[in-house]
Structure 1
């Protein structure tokens, strides 16, 4: 991977884009993809499109969703603690003791998810209690509801503070690979097609769509408005090459062995 593409990926995944609040990440995507497109635009849902070889045929849509899972402010108690609800498929168990950012109208507000000591969380059987999402609370350092409400409000989105890091070689970790890496792949495909020597016949529409994690809303809208002849969708899947995962149930998928291609089910047999 060239340095510019790697820097684009790092910036993209580090830019918070929770479902319904994707504009910051989409600006990063559009600035990059637009360099390799004949035309760019966005729609009322926030979906962003970069078109190469406009007017060609057939029309090929390459799409990835731009949003990430997170949480939202649901309730602020009298002591200023912030209770949350899911934004997409967030797992409450992994949020404990995590540092987070609440994205308010007045700017980012830092906080930490409460993590009660294990010996205070034992059940009758002696096992630690797994928190439910409505039990997860965030401490933003406010001593009262009034103080907290000067900084945030109900409905503000929350993201974890994990950042992009290279572990070793080309193996990386990040908060929002699901699915910023899909929008990255779409933009990189556009770059390679634009710089390639082969003449394109097809019109290629690279799309970064919104609100996938909460109901596929952006993808539904853009598919109807673009009306592509063919659509290829880039998203993440689960690797199974690590302990405790049953390959008999989930298949044999290895990190670093290339993309996974789905067959059957919702996929058109001609594609």
Structure 2
């Protein structure tokens, strides 16, 4: 596992709608490993190994992050903003931010005043960003409406192989799908592997749609983060007991293929990788919700990384969990047969066919 590239991914701003700089870095990183790349105008990059195989596995991890967008500039030179994805406005108060402009990054800070501190129902449109500009005209020389904004936070390593940083949701998942391809190649995988670093998950899920339509996979493994519940006031009753460092999380729910889940769980046991489970009876809030509905229905499993303090500038996850998910997916790909049948009715239908002949 290349931690240096993971940390480069975390430090590269990639708000939903402006993922292209990070995608270019992924192309450069993967170009010596893959057989080819596929891409589309919406911004997806798909790293491909063994494109001639009849069995196609789509690995999907979204590469975008939440953030803000400039909507207007006041006469005093302050920036007004709206949300890009599901931000938590109160967490931005007093925080340093980066405005992504056509000329490069401009620094700013989200202002704090008494009315904002007292506002119990704070929204993104209540926030303002101070560039140090003295007028609207001066601010317009460096920024414009439509520019993206991200929190100016860095990563750091914590105890017990934990890391903290902005946008671990879902840099970790995007990193896992490309590293799993690299590891599967080392192990001699023969099936077609399509590692999609998808765009737009935090806003429209457009990347998931176009990746599934393009690849038309036999099956898909979606990799994203999920809510850890191992800290005070977490909602374990809603989704389950999930610990950072406790291993990969498999989802149980209506969009999940049970046979695929069983295969992953059995393999994890053989590899001595602990598995956790979360309840996702309806929508999962991930790319899987859209991938599952494409083509004639794509069987999939959702493998998640436990994360504390999601959608903050200091999310916390475990490098051990990341390594274990990479190995689990890579070993799954190596052991996958071209003729895999994931129908829940395969035995029933096969016996019926014999009777009718």
TM over 0.5, shorter chain: yes
Q: Which 5+ residue runs of structure 1 have no aligned equivalent?
A: none
Contact 1:99 1:160 in 2 (8 A): yes
Corresponding residue of 2:224: 235
Corresponding residue of 1:148: 139
- What do you get for the CA RMSD once the two structures are aligned? 1.5
SS of 1:155's equivalent in the other structure is coil
Matches within 5 A, 1:58-207: 58-117=55-114, 129-196=120-187, 198=188, 200-207=189-196
Q: Which 5+ residue runs of structure 2 have no aligned equivalent?
A: 261-357
Give the number of the structure with larger relative contact order, counting CA–CA contacts within 8 Å between residues 6 or more apart. Answer: 1
Please state which structure has a larger fraction of its residues in helix. Answer: 2
Structure 2: distance between partners of 1:78 and 1:21: 27
Structure 2: distance between partners of 1:110 and 1:156: 13
Offset from partner CA, 1:131-153 (integer Å, 9 cap, x none):
22111000001111111111100
Give the total of aligned pairs: 260
Structure 1: distance between partners of 2:210 and 2:50: 22
Offset from partner CA, 1:197-236 (integer Å, 9 cap, x none):
x4x3311111101111111011111101111010111000
SS of 2:72's equivalent in the other structure is strand
Corresponding residue of 1:31: 28
Contact 1:19 1:87 in 2 (8 A): yes
Contact 1:113 1:137 in 2 (8 A): yes
Closer, same or farther: CA 37–122 of 1 in aligned 2, 3 Å: closer
- Does residue 249 of structure 1 match 2:238? yes
Match of 2:203 among 210, 214, 217: 214
SS of 1:36's equivalent in the other structure is coil
Corresponding residue of 2:283: none
Closer, same or farther: CA 192–146 of 1 in aligned 2, 3 Å: same
Contact 1:58 1:201 in 2 (8 A): no
Per-residue deviation at 1:121? 5.5
Match of 1:47 among 44, 48, 51: 44
Closer, same or farther: CA 142–257 of 1 in aligned 2, 3 Å: same
Per-residue deviation at 1:249? 2.3
